[in-house]
Amino acid sequence: MTDMLGKSEELRDRVEARRHQLLSKYNELKADTRKEANELRTQLKARLDEVEDAIKAGWHDMSEAARTKLNQWLDRKD
């Protein structure tokens, strides 16, 4: 059980770090009025919405399917 808890904490840390990175990028693009920036903002918002949906049940009650979804989310390249 301790091993699973450690893996959950590691996953949470990785997701939160990536989420923070995407939020920073999103916020930087808010001031940019170019069409390309708007499209990138839309993509980033969709990625952030994905992770919010995956963690809405909370970290303690997370299913294996949600963990898998989060790992796939982390593996995607932006």
Instruction: Express each pLDDT in 60-78 by its tens digit.
Output: 878 888 899 999 999 987 6
CA-derived radius of gyration, the chain: 14
Helices (H), the chain: 2-29, 35-54, 64-75
Percent share of the chain, pLDDT over 90: 63
Maximum average pLDDT range among 4-18, 26-40, 50-64: 26-40
CB 61 within 8 A of CB 1: no
CB 74 within 8 A of CB 14: yes
